[in-house]
Amino acid sequence: MAKQATITEIARKAGVSIGTVDRVLHHRGGVSSESRRRVQAILDEVGYKIHLHTSAVALRKQFRLVVTIPEPGPGTYWDKLLDGVRKAVEEYSDIPITLLLLPYDQGDPASCREVFVGIPETEADAVIIGPTFDAETHALCAALDAAGTPYVFVDTAFPDTRPLSSFTADQPAGGALVAKLLHHIVPPGKSIVEVHPSLGGGAKAQNAVQRRRGFLRYFADCAPERKVLESERDYLGADVGGVCVLNSRGSRIADAILREGRTDIKVVAFDLTDENLRCLREGSIFALVCQRPERQGFLSVTTLLEYLLYHHATLQQHVLMPLDIVLKENLDYYFQKL
């Protein structure tokens, strides 16, 4: 592989100082339009790329990143997202990073509130937020905005907030995708049950709320004749042919259906948790929709590091993850490609 041109070589070719090249690379002012044009032309010619490792070491930067997400139990969706965060920290190990994990109970708004209230006091340089509850999330974002602390969302983006970036799937599209899949695999005349478990205090997780919107919109627009039911418990009726679980707890529903001997009900759920994967392999779950939590975690760290080092982000404000449909038949290939 060809060695990348140095800043000194670029400055010599462009006929400018090393400081001018540095200002162009890091989007700082104090450079004439002509000098900027010449430097950029050389950068494009040699394909120069900034390396976070080298730049951070040279600048002697060190950072404190706070990650606040629902409790990441082993093999869960949030555990896999945290794997992506840790992989990014490991990959950029030349940069001194202190990672502080502050998890909360996803079923308890009071737990979330208690954790979120303490985050502004952690002296974090940046925060990664996996949000669940509306009021608590907006209060945290307002506090971080007031302190000038950059933050990103993973899993779910909240309106009326100002994150540096958000890394999520298109949740309404995910709901519509599941609806379309179930509509085509469940026999006509059979009903489809949408399971939408409540959180503590009757609250609803925002990602599930958005998925449900897309799920119901699909049937209203494309299959109004299909009987669609909403229930947290009654999904074993004689006329039920399919069940949609709008969160990562599909294995609980699939196991309950299997215990009743109902092999005729097709279950579709979200996320490649260890328990969901078990059910997929056993056949009690027909399909899983994956939204790449590891990738979300990895990108959240690299985006924040780039912002902290250079005060700009190269990624768009909302980065959509792919919605992968994973079946038993393509599961091994899927992991091979990852």
Residue 144 parent element (H or E):
helix 134-147
In a domain, 160, yes or no: yes
Distance CA 311, CA 294 (A): 25
162 shares its domain with 302: yes
- State the pLDDT at residue 337: 47
Q: With cut-offs at 50, 70 and 90, classify the pLDDT of residue 92.
A: confident
Q: With cut-offs at 50, 70 and 90, classify the pLDDT of residue 309.
A: confident
Q: How many residues does the chain have?
A: 338
What pLDDT digit, counting tens, does each position of 175-226 carry?
Answer: 999 999 999 999 999 999 998 766 555 556 778 888 999 999 999 999 999 9
Q: Residues 231-247: what's their mean pLDDT? A: 86
- Residue from 284, 279, 282 nearest 266 by CA: 284
Q: Indicate if the pLDDT at residue 26 is higher than 80.
A: no
Counted domains in the chain: 3
pTM for the structure as a whole = 0.79
In a domain, 126, yes or no: yes
84 shares its domain with 17: no
101 shares its domain with 76: yes
Instruction: List the structure tokens of 108.
Output: 């308890």
Q: Residues 38-64: what's their mean pLDDT? A: 72
In a domain, 89, yes or no: yes
- 33: domain range? 7-49
User: What phi and psi values does residue 126 have, to the nearest 5 degrees?
Assistant: -160, 160
Domain boundary among 275, 290, 305: 290
Instruction: List the structure tokens of 100.
Output: 């502080």
Q: Indicate if the pLDDT at residue 60 is higher than 70.
A: no
Contacts of range 140-143, beta carbons closer than 8 Å, 24 or more positions apart = 140/68, 140/116, 143/119
